[in-house]
Structures are given as C-alpha cells and as structure tokens.
Amino acid sequence: GTLAACSGDSSPTPVLVDPSGSAVAATEKKRRSTGRTRNVTLTAAPAVLDLGGGVTARSWAYGGQAPGKEIRLSVGDTLAAELSNQLPNRTTTSIHWHGLAMRNDMDGVPPVTQQSVRAGAKFTYRFVTDAPGTYFFHPHVGLQLDRGLYAPLIVEDPEEPLAYDDEWVVVLDDWVDGVTGTPDEVLAELRQGMGGMDGMSMKFMLMGAESELLCGDAGDVRYPYHLVNGRVPTDPAVHRGKPGQRVRLRLVNAGGDTAYRVALGGHRMTVTHTDGFPVEHQQVDALLIGMGERYDVLVTLGDGVFPLVALAEGKDATGMALVRTASGGAPRATVRPKELDGRILTASRLRAADDVRLPSRKVDRVHRVELTGGMDKYDWAINGKPYDMADPTASPLTIEEGQRVRLDFVNGTEMWHPMHLHGHTYQLGNTGPRKDTSIVLPRGKLSVVFDADNPGRWMLHCHNAYHAEVGMMALVAYR
Ligand code: C2O
Ligand code: CU
C-alpha cells in the first residue's frame, strides 16, 4: 500500500488529529484576528441562470447567480457564513474555502471534517481569515462545483504594497449545460456498473445521470460554453476603465475540466501573485491557469476596446470578456489575440517574493504521491488506489505538527493534473512560487514543500472535478 512507501510509517492505524479538537482550536487562537466579523448568508438552490446572449441554463447556484456574489474581507477578519441548503432531491452539500488556511473543522469536506449539510438544513462556517489573497469557494460534494456553485473570496491586505487604480475579479468556467449536482448514491451505483466502460462514456455518464435527476433529460454533455464571469462570449461582461489606468486582475479558474490560456489583447500582463501569494514580478503575454489556480496580474490599460480571452486548452474554444476604455465596436466573439501565442507563463517560471519564501531547512517527511490511472478505464487515483469516501481515514499520508514536509508528485499518466492541497500553501522547489494548486505535467514530476503548521485532516487531490470524483484524492493527516 501507500504507507509502505513513506518514511517511518509503521503503524497501520495512526491516531489522527481530531478536526474539531484542541490542537485545531489552539492553532485558530494563534491566528491574528481583527476582532471584526463579516456575516454572510449563502443559499445553495436551483436557479435559472442568464448566461447572456439569450442563453439560459437551469442549474444550481449560490444566491441565484454564477459566479455567486463575491465575499470580500480584510485579513484577520472572521468570516461567519451561513450556508442554507435548498438543493432538491435530498442532495447534501458543504462549502470548501479553496486555498485558505483555516481551522480544519471549517474546511468543508464531508465526512472528513464535518457531517454533510442535509437538504433543508443550515450550517455556519466561522473562521479567522489567515492570509490576504485571491480565493474562491465551492461545495466539496461530488460534482457540484461544476454545476455553478462557486464564488470568489477576496481577502484584502490593509497594507497592500501594490499600487493600482482599479481591480477586477475574473472568474473562468467551462459550462456543461444540463448537468446537475450529485446525488451520491446514484453515482456510487453507476460506478459499480462501470467496469467495462471507456473513460469518455463514463465521464459523460456521470454528467448525464446527474442531469437526468434534476432536469428529467440526459442533457447535452459537451462543453458548449466557456464563460467569463458567467457570460458567453457573444454577450460578454464589460469592464470599463480609462487609458493609462493600472488595473489589478484577479483571475480564478473555477472550471471543472478545463485549463485556460488567458491573454488581454493589445496588452502585456505583469504577474504579481499566484494562488494569493506574492511572486517576483514577471511580464508575460499569456498565462496558463489550471482548474483551482488563481493568478493576480497588473495591466496598464490602452486606448480602445480589448478582448480578454480565455482559450480552453485542448478544446480550441474560447471564453471572453471585454475591456473598454473608448467607444467603438467590439471584437468578434471568436477573436484570438496574438498574445495567446506569445510568452506564456506557467508557475514553474516564477519565484516566490522574499517575504513569503519558505526559509530553507531540512525536510522531515517525504511522501511520494504517484498520480495514476488513464482515460480508458477512467480509474484516476493516487498511488494506484482510488480514494474511498466511505472509509476516509483508511490510509492517510501522515505528517506531524512542526515538520517540513515534501510531496513528490510523480505523474505516471498521459494527462496533466492540477494537484490541490487543503489548509496549506506549499512552495514549488526551493525558490518557486507559493501555491495550493499546481499543474503536474503528463509523465512529469513536481516536488513541493510546506510547513506542517495547521493540524487536522486535509485533502490532497486533482482539481479536475471528474478525476477527483472517481478517486484521485488522498488524505494528508496530522497525528
Ligand atoms: Cu477547490 Cu478540495 O478543492
Ligand atoms: Cu486529474
């Protein structure tokens, strides 16, 4: 099994830190709090979403819109978010605060950190926000993220060192029209009967079965739309500014199955943050953003009407928003600015800013995390073993508080996987950027390090919603 591969793990059933125990509470106390509380209510419910251009979709969303309304607070503020589950068909749900290091019992992963929130029930998430940055939130149940249940979460830094005139949050999403959230029992049943099915049919089947439950039809399970801030490219969201203004873009990829190459026509972008954490600035033409990743960039606006284009990697389709600083006609929905083929930035070319770079020290614990599986069986897993939600603590990757931990991702597959760790922000290599989600290339390797300073039980998984759903997950647990 997996444990045999890691140093020092001899006991078959390690005693794990309790997600709501005293170690977790003690860590929360150490977080610097402003004493202010932001109260919000988030209602997860069916909605008819207006995607622009006359396109509507019956789906699920927070507060009737996708992306849901952003939550914005200051670092150290306490977020008190009451989730009200109004989803149909006795669907359970939760909220995971993607990228934020917070107390473990508020991380929103049923059944690992909490009981799932039943239909008709409420649950209040309450935690101190630990670090400024660009985050988002979504359920951690089945494929609900891919249904439209997501929204940005911005934690501001009152001592923000960047100077800019305006700020736009840009959320990318691939849209499967007609797909619903997850009735888990049905998915489990489906999975059992899937032995001989090829990967694509299995994936479509997962989507289709869900669709049927809510909409009464199997739906069209292609990706007909790539949305930028919830709009189709023929009727895009418009950001207005003045020539010469400096704008901070906070880019979030909330898609379930698509990496985006993003460029703003006629502009270069200066990358300032990855996954919320500052990096040494770099100028680029385009950025590659995997599912779950976030990038902050600065642009100095030109004079005109410019397309902000998100090219779906490997799918040859685009999403678009417009940046307008002058009157005049808009570019076509299919425009492909040349910047998309210019200097493309990936995370491995970045360096962490000095103040967030991890001090070098000896690594206490190494876990090898092999990414396994393939399209023909759709048997995505970690270390050859699909994660079992019914027995979530069966074979954790154990760590201990105070350790410097290294994860060695080894991708034995022909696909790339954006690997996301909950509750921590790791660093790529010795000087790379701080991130919580990173693309591991096909047949590629990636080593990341982090300090074990947030006790609890944390998921480590691929942020392709479909890969995660069939088991490309593991538990990293303190003991
Ligand atoms: Cu956004 Cu467990 O992930
Ligand atoms: Cu994956």
Q: 246 CA distance to ligand 1 centroid (A)?
A: 31
pLDDT at 182 over 50: no
420 CA from centroid of ligand 1 (Å):
7
461 in contact with ligand 1, CB cutoff 6 A: yes
Q: Note the ligand closest to the C-alpha atom of 418.
A: 2
Domain limit, last residue, from 309, 327, 345: 345
Tell me the CATH number at 292.
2.60.40.420
222 pLDDT exceeds 80? no
292 within a domain of the structure (yes/no): yes
Q: Is the CB of 421 under 6 A from ligand 1?
A: no
Contact 454, 100 (CB under 8 A): no
Q: Quick one: angle between helices 184-192 and 199-215, nearest 10?
A: 150
Ligand 1 centroid–CA 19 distance in Å is 17
Q: Are residues 310 and 360 in the same domain?
A: no
Nearest CA to ligand 1 atom 3: 98
Any atom of ligand 1 within 6 Å of the Cβ of 140: yes
Domain span at 289: 225-345
Q: Give the pLDDT band of residue 6 (cuts 50, 70, 90).
A: very low
Assess whether 361 and 339 both reside in one domain. no
Is residue 10 assigned to a domain? yes
With a cut of 80, say whether residue 439 has pLDDT above it: yes
- Asked if residue 36 and residue 8 are part of one domain, the reply reads no
Largest Cα span, the chain: 69
Whether 197 is covered by a domain: the verdict is no
For residue 224, the model assigns a pLDDT of: 72
Structure-token pair, residue 61 = 């969303």
96 lines ligand 1 (CB under 6 A): yes
* Length of the chain (residues): 479
Asked whether residue 169 is assigned to any structural domain, the reply reads no
Q: Domain check: are 318 and 411 in the same one? A: no
Rounded to an integer, the average pLDDT of 183-206 is 48
Which atom in ligand 1 lies closest to the alpha carbon of residue 422? 2
pLDDT for 195 equals 43
Note whether ipTM > 0.90 here: yes
In a domain, 173, yes or no: no
What domain count does the chain have?
Answer: 3
| E strand map for 201-293 | 225-228, 238-240, 246-253, 260-264, 269-274, 277-284, 286-289
- pLDDT at site 14: 79
Of 325, 345, 365, the domain-final residue: 345
Q: Is 403 helix (H, G, I), strand (E, B) or coil?
A: coil
Q: Which atom of ligand 1 is nearest to the CA of 136?
A: 1
Which residue bears the tokens 């048997």? Answer: 379
Sheet holding 417-421, edge to edge: 397-399, 473-478, 457-462, 417-421, 437-440
- Asked if pLDDT for residue 235 goes beyond 90, the answer is yes
- Confidence at 225, pLDDT banded by 50, 70, 90: confident
Distance (angstroms) between ligand 1 centre and the Cα of 255 equals 12
**Rounded to an integer, what distance in angstroms lies between the CA atom of residue 183 and that of residue 370?**
29
Q: Does the pLDDT value for residue 207 go beyond 60?
A: no
- Kindly state whether residues 325 and 390 are assigned to the same domain: no
Regarding the beta carbon of 404 and ligand 1, being less than 6 Å apart is answered: no
321-357 confidence digits (pLDDT tens): 999 999 999 999 999 999 999 989 889 899 999 999 9
Residue nearest to atom 1 of ligand 1 (CA): 98
pLDDT at 455 over 80: yes
Q: Is the pLDDT of residue 146 over 90?
A: no
How high is the pLDDT of residue 143?
85
Give tens-digit pLDDT for 97-119. 999 999 999 999 999 999 999 99
174 domain residue, yes or no? no
- Domain boundary among the residues 293, 321, 345 is at 345
Residue 199 has pLDDT above 70, yes or no: no
Q: Is residue 397 part of a domain?
A: yes
d(CA 64, CA 49): 7
Is the CB–ligand 1 distance for residue 467 below 6 Å?
no
Judged against a pLDDT cut of 50, whether residue 8 lies above it is answered with: no
Provide the percentage of residues in the chain whose pLDDT is more than 70: 87
In this structure, are 380 and 458 located in the same domain?
A: yes
Residue 220 has pLDDT above 90, yes or no: no
Residues 332 and 370 in one domain: no
Residue 365 Cβ inside 6 Å of ligand 1? The answer reads no
218 pLDDT more than 50: no
Query: E-assigned strands of 195-241?
Result: 225-228, 238-240
| Ligand having the closest approach to the CA of 140 | 1
Q: Are residues 267 and 320 in the same domain?
A: yes
